[in-house]
Structure 1
Amino acid sequence: MERTTLTIVDVLGDGGKFVLLLKGFEIEIYTGTPEGQIIGFSDRITADLPGFAREPDSRNVEYTTPPCGRYEQLLCYLIKPRVQLRKYLQSLGNYTLIPGSTLSLGDSHHFYRSDPTHPYHTYIEHTYGTKVVTASVHINIGISEPELLMRACRLVRVEAPLYLALSAASPFLDGQVTGYHSTRWGIFPKTPAIVPLFTSHAHFIDWTEQQLATGTMQNVRHLWSAVRPNGDRRPYSLNRLELRVCDLVTDPIALLAITALLEARLWQLCQDETLDPLQQSQLDADTLVTLTDANEMAAARQSLEATLHHWQDGREISARQWIEQLYEEVESYSQQRGFKCFLSPVKKLLREGNTAQQWLRSHQAGLTIAEVVQQAIQALAEQEQELAGNLCHPLVA
């Protein structure tokens, strides 16, 4: 994403002219067989298909959508690469895309290098092993003013567990129920172990330089926290907030709803200068970090049913109730800017549960884990075909 474009965009809609933040996604997804066996093709995919990037392990592959304001266009940008990737996999044999954010049916005991010569990949394999062989979605929102971006990162950091709760999609690993709704975030090696709430852009620069000097971070990308500032020359030149906490949301309608909740909250932040954990919380900054990290782990375990502690005063509140309150608080901002219809599926997520909860219900009803995954693979293909045909046919032809 280019710095010059990641700001705001004017959008013409049925209700007139709206200003929306530019948004983009980084999508990691597994490849494999219809039976749910995950098989790595990223070296071949990245060689043959433009727009795809390899991860250290070959079993998942990443694509990035261009920055865009309109949710309708974002929907097409999410679907088009998947359609292309699916067709390519079919040209190799009976292969498909596999939902979920962990190696649901295995094998987490072996690391399958996508590029054996890459030194950073070597470091990742030797340091973290297959804990990083996960699939996720990173949501990028354009904010070019550095201090506003830092304030946004502070707010989204303490509320990141809510987005994790909505997106949880990894209750299985190696054919077993793990006890997590997001096994991915439960085991993922957050790095560095302690990341502060950055009080300013200068604080972020100084902290990053210190981590690089001590080797806690190997490079500027080696900041694996729930939220981070991003840009074309980190930590100095920044232009977007990157929410990294979410499991892979393969339903694009649900993903856009989660994104709409985030964008509406950021518009509220832009209009309320006091909406800042460092100003509104009764807790000090260190306590906020500890509370937030604990909330992330609680959301990883029980997602929407988790008991969390609110950043304002530490009071107990369920993730579901907190999201419901946040929805009511930001709904008017989505209405003002013409994207309320994309926000409203959050209510369906709360009502029907996230992917992990749906999968666990199916398993508890008697399906094997393999059968749950196989049904999800088939449902993903059917939904993708329907969306590609009905919503953005010219883009995927």
Structure 2
Amino acid sequence: MSTNRKLGLFEGFGVEMEYMIVDRDTLAVKPIADEVLKAEAGELTSDVERGTMAWSNELVLHVLELKTNGPAPELTSLANSFHQEVLRVNELLEPFNAMLLPSGAHPFMDPNAETVLWPHESSEIYEAYNRIFNCQGHGWSNLQSTHLNLPFGNDVEFGRLHAAIRLVLPLIPAISAASPVLDSQITGLLDTRLEVYRKNQQKIPLIAGQVIPEAVFSEEDYHAQIFRPLFEAIAPYDPDGQLQDEFLNSRGAIARFSRGAIEIRIIDNQECPLADITIVALVTEVLKHLTAETWSSYYDQKTADTQDLAALFLNSLKNGPETQITNTGYLKLFGIEQEQASMKQVWENLWSQIYSQEAFSSELAHSANLLLEHGPLSTRLLKALGEAPGLPEIKDVYQRLAQSLAQNKLFVP
């Protein structure tokens, strides 16, 4: 998300969505992202530009990333823009009897047997990760997310945005959890992707930290408290310095000072772009109100304890919208004067205050209401799967997810 002039708060939106490439019949992963990029570009490449949209490779060869080509001026039209890219990719995949599959994780992929790393351009970075962490695991090769990049124009705006994002991160899995199944088993977590993500670099715990970023509100402090310790920790494993860059940081939101943006990384990929953009719009509007100090002062927002936020975040991975918040100080930061509230109640409260026709088209508003009523995709998947689904039932439900993606319709069992 780069631009000649630094964009200010909410003046642009960089959105990225990761999708799995699978066999149309069996849903087994197909490591052919390079073939798709080649088919569109006419030559082997890691990036394709298509006007306001773009495609690129990921760490593993069965995943393709679709994204805005630089910051988009608004969000509402992006659901359709992303859907058009999905249709084009599926068209190119047809000769391979393959298609895109959405959601946060593949339900029955065996990463130890099926992982194929991207072997082309920039592969030395992936090889470095593989050497240090062994990328043949769910936490590396079987997780798809939707990223939201939000710009800041200066250090003051960075501080305000970072303070607001830290508060919203624990609430996000309650609306975006989309990975309830791994290894053909219901895991007991609504957001299994984030559980494996937060543990995938345990050899160097500083890389992901507590997923909730530390309470730092200036570029100088960010370098001193996050980047510097991070680069020192990786150095013994990375003698060539290939990984000592901003991208090494794996917190749930990472500062990209090189592009003047903060990237939120904890949204599970949803069943269709309409669902993804609905969640992105919900998160964005809450952040707008927080940075404008609608419910609480910037001073108070900065005092939120990282440990408390991290505990709430972990709870949300399991319980999603049913997660109970008993921290009255935290609730007050969102203008909620109650002893306790569930995350579902918090989101309903926020939705009643952030809704506007400017921020939410009728389609996005309908989608938001459906999401808040029926719960995140994981809850809806579990309802469709039943208590102890076998592989045929899992395949059947995920085939329906592929249809949701192709039609850009929310999945409601």
Give the TM-score normalised by the residue count of structure 1.
0.81
1:47 maps onto 2:38 in alignment: yes
- Aligned match of 1:122: 127
* Deviation digits for residues 82-128 of structure 1 (CA, Å, limit 9, x no counterpart): 11211111122x11111221231121224321227823212322415
- Aligned match of 2:354: 330
* Deviation digits for residues 2-45 of structure 1 (CA, Å, limit 9, x no counterpart): 23366369xxxxxxxxxx63212111110111332112112323
- Aligned match of 1:392: none
1:56·1:115 contact (CA, 8 Å) conserved in 2? no
* Deviation digits for residues 284-329 of structure 1 (CA, Å, limit 9, x no counterpart): 55xx211221222211112112224548348643211111122223
1:363 maps onto 2:404 in alignment: no
Deviation at 1:219, TM superposition (A): 2.1
- Aligned match of 1:303: 320
Looking at structure 1, the residues matched to 285 and 100 of structure 2 have their Cα atoms a distance apart, in angstroms, of 31
* Deviation digits for residues 49-101 of structure 1 (CA, Å, limit 9, x no counterpart): 32322222212121211322333431232112211211111122x11111221
Looking at structure 2, the residues matched to 63 and 279 of structure 1 have their Cα atoms a distance apart, in angstroms, of 37
- Aligned match of 2:240: none
1:30·1:97 contact (CA, 8 Å) conserved in 2? yes
Looking at structure 1, the residues matched to 407 and 361 of structure 2 have their Cα atoms a distance apart, in angstroms, of 25
Aligned equivalent of 2:399, options 353, 377, 395 = 377
- Aligned match of 1:203: 221
Q: Which amino acid in the other structure matches residue 58 of structure 2?
A: E
Question: Secondary structure in 2 aligned to 1:377?
Answer: helix
Q: Which amino acid in the other structure matches residue 327 of structure 1?
A: W
Looking at structure 1, the residues matched to 299 and 395 of structure 2 have their Cα atoms a distance apart, in angstroms, of 43
1:171·1:356 contact (CA, 8 Å) conserved in 2? yes
Moved more, 107-116 or 146-155: 107-116
Looking at structure 2, the residues matched to 141 and 370 of structure 1 have their Cα atoms a distance apart, in angstroms, of 41
Q: Which amino acid in the other structure matches residue 201 of structure 1?
A: E
Question: Secondary structure in 2 aligned to 1:120?
Answer: helix
Looking at structure 2, the residues matched to 155 and 344 of structure 1 have their Cα atoms a distance apart, in angstroms, of 26
* Aligned residues: CA RMSD: 2.9
- Aligned match of 1:393: none
Looking at structure 1, the residues matched to 149 and 123 of structure 2 have their Cα atoms a distance apart, in angstroms, of 26
Aligned-pair identity (%): 18
1:76 maps onto 2:93 in alignment: no
Gapped regions of structure 1 (runs ≥ 5): 10-19, 388-397
Aligned equivalent of 1:291, options 308, 311, 315 = 308
Give the TM-score normalised by the residue count of structure 2.
0.79
Looking at structure 2, the residues matched to 137 and 168 of structure 1 have their Cα atoms a distance apart, in angstroms, of 11
- Aligned match of 1:258: 279
Q: Which amino acid in the other structure matches residue 384 of structure 1?
A: A
1:274·1:280 contact (CA, 8 Å) conserved in 2? no
Relative distance call for 1:145 and 1:377 in structure 2 (3 A) is: farther
Deviation at 1:365, TM superposition (A): 6.3
Looking at structure 2, the residues matched to 274 and 200 of structure 1 have their Cα atoms a distance apart, in angstroms, of 22
Looking at structure 2, the residues matched to 214 and 47 of structure 1 have their Cα atoms a distance apart, in angstroms, of 38
Gapped regions of structure 2 (runs ≥ 5): 41-47, 49-53, 200-206, 236-242, 332-338
Looking at structure 2, the residues matched to 197 and 219 of structure 1 have their Cα atoms a distance apart, in angstroms, of 21
Looking at structure 1, the residues matched to 223 and 297 of structure 2 have their Cα atoms a distance apart, in angstroms, of 20
Moved more, 349-358 or 260-269: 260-269
Deviation at 1:368, TM superposition (A): 3.5
Aligned equivalent of 2:292, options 267, 271, 277 = 271
Question: Secondary structure in 2 aligned to 1:272?
Answer: coil
Question: Secondary structure in 1 aligned to 2:214?
Answer: coil
Deviation at 1:275, TM superposition (A): 3.9
Question: Secondary structure in 1 aligned to 2:249?
Answer: coil
